Amino acid sequence: MSEIADKVKKIVVEHLGVDESKVTPDASFIDDLGADSLDTVELVMAFEEAFSVEIPEDAAEKITTVKDAIDYIEKQKAA
Amino acid sequence: MFRLDGKIALVTGASGGIGREIARALHAQGAGVVLSGTRQGVLEDVAAEIGAQGGAERVHVCAADLSDPAAAEALVAAAEEKAGAPLAILVNNAGLTRDTLAIRMKDEDWSRVLDVDLAAPFRLCRAALKGMLRRRAGRIVNIASVVGVTGNAGQANYAAAKAGMIGMGKSLAQEAGSRGVTVNTVAPGFVQTAMTDVLPDAQKEKLVGAIPLGRMGQPQDIAPAVVYLASDEAGWITGATIHVNGGMAMP
């Protein structure tokens, strides 16, 4: 697993207080990990801070799973 | 009841009549208070006055010019650093007026009042909420004005800002409710402060004549409402506006 993926996972575990084993790539923040809409906004802000990237509102809306977040950040970092 | 021991409160406009009384009252309930305003010297005098009641180590001064967006943005962090603990209570009390009839009101009069009285409180709420939501605790009390509900000739800018503050507070209350953070408004009526001292006597008399309780308000009439909203006991009230105006308006 990439360094980015590791870090994303860690942030999700920390923020949502869920067990690490539940944070699979396909896990949906809202449906599987019990996040509400405010959690997802806070998560995106935590990603922005941790990775020094800016995630615009329309992109943030599409980040619904752990994999979505990892993919988006990897793409930003590669660019 | 209404004890605030161990809680840190930031009060903006703490050099003004209402602000200093709010700070004094919060401190008297046990809170640590961070006094903000533009006048460092006056703030230090207020701090000394409050500290003289005991608990001087719980009084801090953190001057800031809220017309500067960056200063407003940075104030919450600066206050937390001064107090050495996260912010539990934010009181947006700072405000200014630029009264004149609309047909004579310059864009600058409009935007300065909207900047300081509405945009700055928003920035402070935003900065404070980030931590409060994470900590699942917090109290925001915005000080609006009766004119935000009734309107007032000569105060189109001020009334718009204060009405905006009430709407903003209701929105933030909905956003923050799931985390146990409350956002409420206190709307003072005609209170005797430097802001109202400049009014002509004839106008003051007319205003008092419209107050069922028959007198101008004092800062001591306003502060207890803030103490209540800041307390743990007020944990099931959010998005509310408490009108403290001697009955001048009963919306």
List pLDDT tens digits, range B65-124: 999 999 999 999 999 999 999 999 999 999 999 999 999 999 999 999 999 999 999 999
The nearest CA of chain A is from the CA of B17 a distance in Å of 37
Residue A36 in contact with partner chain B when CB distance is under 8 A: yes
In chain A, residues with a C-beta closer than 8 Å to the C-beta of B179 are: 38
- Could you please state the CATH topology (level 3) that the domain comprising B6-240 is classified under: Rossmann fold (3.40.50)
- pLDDT tier for residue B198 given thresholds of 50, 70 and 90: confident
pTM of the full structure? 0.93
In chain A, residues with a C-beta closer than 8 Å to the C-beta of B134 are: 42
Percentage, residues of chain B above pLDDT 70: 100
Contact of B82 with B59, CB cutoff 8 Å: no
Contact of B34 with B11, CB cutoff 8 Å: yes
Which of B129, B132, B133, B172 should one mutate to test binding to chain A, selecting the residue with the greatest count of A CBs within 10 A?
A: B133
Contact of B234 with B186, CB cutoff 8 Å: no
- Beta carbons within 10 angstroms of residue A54's beta carbon: 8
Contact of B141 with B184, CB cutoff 8 Å: yes
* pLDDT attached to residue B216: 95
Q: Is the dihedral of CA B191, B196, B99, B13 positive or negative?
A: negative
Inter-chain contact B133–A42, Cβ cutoff 8 Å? yes
What's the rounded mean pLDDT across residues B123-134? Answer: 96
What is the 8-class DSSP label of residue A25? T
CATH no., domain A1-76 = 1.10.1200.10
Inter-chain contact A42–B178, Cβ cutoff 8 Å? no
Percentage, residues of chain A above pLDDT 90: 92
In chain B, residues with a C-beta closer than 8 Å to the C-beta of A38 are: 133, 175, 178-179
* pLDDT attached to residue A1: 59
Residue A17 in contact with partner chain B when CB distance is under 8 A: no
Percentage, residues of chain B above pLDDT 90: 94
Compute CA distances B213 → B62, B147, B185, B245, whole Å: 37, 18, 22, 9
What's the rounded mean pLDDT across residues A32-58? Answer: 94
Contact of B196 with B17, CB cutoff 8 Å: no
Beta strands across the sheet bearing B32-35: B59-61, B32-35, B8-11, B89-92, B138-143, B181-188, B241-244
User: Which residues fall within 8 angstroms of residue B175, CB to CB, at 6 or more apart?
Assistant: A38, B129
* pLDDT attached to residue B247: 97
* pLDDT attached to residue A79: 77
**Cα(B178)–Cα(B136) distance, integer angstroms:** 9
What's the rounded mean pLDDT across residues B189-197? Answer: 87
**Cα(B123)–Cα(B129) distance, integer angstroms:** 10
What's the rounded mean pLDDT across residues B167-189? Answer: 97
* pLDDT attached to residue A77: 87
Q: Whose CA is closest to B113, among B97, B102, B101, B100?
A: B97
* pLDDT attached to residue B81: 97
Average pLDDT, chain A: 94
Task: Provide the residue ranges of all domains of chain A, joining segments of one domain with +.
Answer: 1-76
User: Phi and psi for B91 in degrees, rounded to 5?
Assistant: -115, 110
Residue A38 in contact with partner chain B when CB distance is under 8 A: yes
List pLDDT tens digits, range B199-218: 888 888 988 999 999 999 99
* pLDDT attached to residue B203: 85
